[in-house]
Homo-oligomer: A and B are copies of this chain.
Amino acid sequence: MAKVRLALAQTNPVVGAISNNLADCLEWVKQAHNQGADIILFGEMSATGYPIEDLATRPGFVQQAEAAIDAFAKQLQKCGLGEMHVVIGHPALAATEDQSHWAIANNCASVLNGGSVVARYAKHHLPNYGVFDEFRVFVPGDKSCTFEVNGIRCSILICEDIWQDGGPVARVASDKTDLTLVLNGSPFELEKQSTRLELVSGLAQSTNSAVAYVNLVGGQDDLVFDGNSLLVDATGALRALGAAFQTGLQIADIATGGLIENIDAENVGQPLQNTNTDALESVWNCLTLGLADYVRKNGFKSVVLGLSGGIDSAVCATIAADALGADSVYGVSLPSVYSSDHSKSDAFDLAERLGAHIRTEAIKDIVAVTENQLGLTDLSAENLQARVRGLILMALSNKEGHLTLTTGNKTELAVGYSTIYGDSVGGFAPIKDVPKTMVWALAEWRNAKARAAGLIEPIPQNSITKPPSAELRPGQVDQDSLPPYEQLDALLALYIDGRQTREQIIAAGFAADVVDKIASLVSMSEWKRRQGAIGPKISGMSFGRDRRMPITNKFR
């Protein structure tokens, strides 16, 4: 029976850093070669990073990527790796432009062997929903691609191809494929992994082939690729799972008919997540990797953030400490005349628990001189306090070179409970897609993890239990102007994620006046969200590219 040794490579490319990405791929090819692999499969657009957005419409970029792939094939040959079949993703100029003359490239996978490109597949189904704009920037392919290695017939598909019917995917079976190779750039989303397994398993059964599903790893702006690659045999059974949120290599032998033998068990990842605790762990890992990669890939070394003693900044600081090391985290306590004692003590307690830097910059002098000069009272004076905090954080960022983090959660962003150019300042928003109730759950989970390991709990209990407050006036708490967070998050999930109508939400048990008020707040803060920092997507409907609403909009 014919047999081939396959390596699945989870890499973490940087968008646009083509030569660095290929240098990294070369190391993985060498390692796979040392383990006797005949084929190595990388993720979608592994050469250029993903998503490349409108870079795909720039001829200079596409030409550079294509030239780099040709050179990489030659380099492999020169390094004595020419006999391997290397399957790698990249853009390539399409044979024809699309009708609008906007898209010029295909989203491709090339097979490199013997010093050149021996086969190339162009993605057929181009996702154009959610965060994806691929119909905008790519020309769809219309051909299947099959090649043979050691008597094993291999077919290539790319990501969305297996989420839609028709096209080349339908031809995989008739091509008598033993092994279907799927290159993916599939961002993390809660509860997505079980859907992936279902799809991959169904594909294996319907095509009677083994399916190797390789996903990228790493943060790219607001997306985090979670790895979690899958290897499924022709019966649809899961045989190996790539590590979550980590680069790595897996090796397996594939025989005629999609049978899988001899899996290198050392490299098999953790089991599929399915409990609530596992979900929180996945979210935490997503947020830390998203932040770590934004910092590293954009050349920062450290972050600065305001520490209010509240739960949002405490969770953000802990994510930053886990992502970068506590020594790279610079907290600033920014008390006003309305700040409670615990807001200061809880902030210092947090920093001590983490081992992060902390200093105090009182805002009262700057606030006083501004308030007096402009004669500010009420809301304009409240916003001023938040903006002076933003001013100080940005000044420290400029002076010391830190990336500023903004600590707003998804619930606040939804209803506009924040001050633009105040607490919203910063280049990255670690918890922007995390609802307030989940922020608390993450804090509990992270503390429990520390407890279980016999370590200090990073987040002060007081920050978890005290009623949330912006402390912009005496005695203020969030619930003065918002419904309880459990109720608010449930309503927002129906309205934003579920796109439900007013009538449906009322039927689910919410009071009509609350529904109307919240829907109105969501619309009225669209302009603030539009100017907000990016942050990691964890839901099916994040603010940003997932949800594109007009600012000028009278629909409620």
Contacts and interface: CB of A to CB of B under 8 A. Distances in A.
Scoring A60, A130, A380, A499 by chain B CB atoms within 10 A of each residue's CB, the highest score goes to A60
A124 B321 CA distance: 52
Interface string A467-479: 0000000000000
A554 B398 contact: no
B58 A499 contact: yes
A51 interface: yes
Contact of A425 (B20, B380, B421): B421
A373 interface: yes
A534 to B, nearest CB: 7
A502 interface: yes
A503 B64 CA distance: 12
Contact of A129 (B130, B136, B374): B136
A337 interface: no
Given A391-B387, A395-B370, A63 B130 contact: no
Contact of A548 (B16, B133, B530, B550): B133
Contact of A392 (B17, B135, B374): B374
Contacts of A387: 391, 394-395
Contact of A16 (B128, B369, B550): B550
A293 B374 CA distance: 30
A102 B541 CA distance: 12
A124 to B, nearest CB: 12
A504 B58 CA distance: 12
A127 interface: yes
Interface in A487-504: 499-504
A370 B361 CA distance: 10
B380 A398 contact: yes
Interface residues of A, number: 88
A135 B555 CA distance: 22
Given A54-B547, A61-B555, A374 B394 contact: no
A553 B383 contact: no
A53 interface: yes
A551 interface: yes
A456 interface: no
Nearest to A104: B499
A49 to B, nearest CB: 8
B361 A552 contact: no
A52 interface: yes
Interface in A26-80: 51-55, 57-61, 63-64
Contacts of A103: 129
Contact of A373 (B15, B59, B129, B366): B366
Given A127-B100, A128-B128, A370-B395, A17 B554 contact: yes
A366 to B, nearest CB: 5
Interface in A94-134: 99-100, 102-103, 125, 127-130, 133
Contact of A383 (B57, B395, B534): B395
A165 interface: yes
A364 B164 CA distance: 61
B376 A552 contact: no
A533 interface: yes
Contacts of A361: 373-374
Given A60-B502, A374-B395, 14 more contacts: A51-B550, A55-B550, A55-B553, A59-B501, A60-B499, A64-B555, A100-B129, A219-B552, A220-B550, A361-B373, A366-B366, A366-B373, A384-B395, A427-B527
Interface of A: 14-18, 20, 51-55, 57-61, 63-64, 99-100, 102-103, 125, 127-130, 133, 135-136, 164-165, 219-221, 293-294, 297-298, 361, 365-366, 369-370, 373-376, 379-380, 383-384, 387-388, 390-392, 394-396, 398-399, 420-421, 425, 427, 499-504, 527, 530-534, 547-556
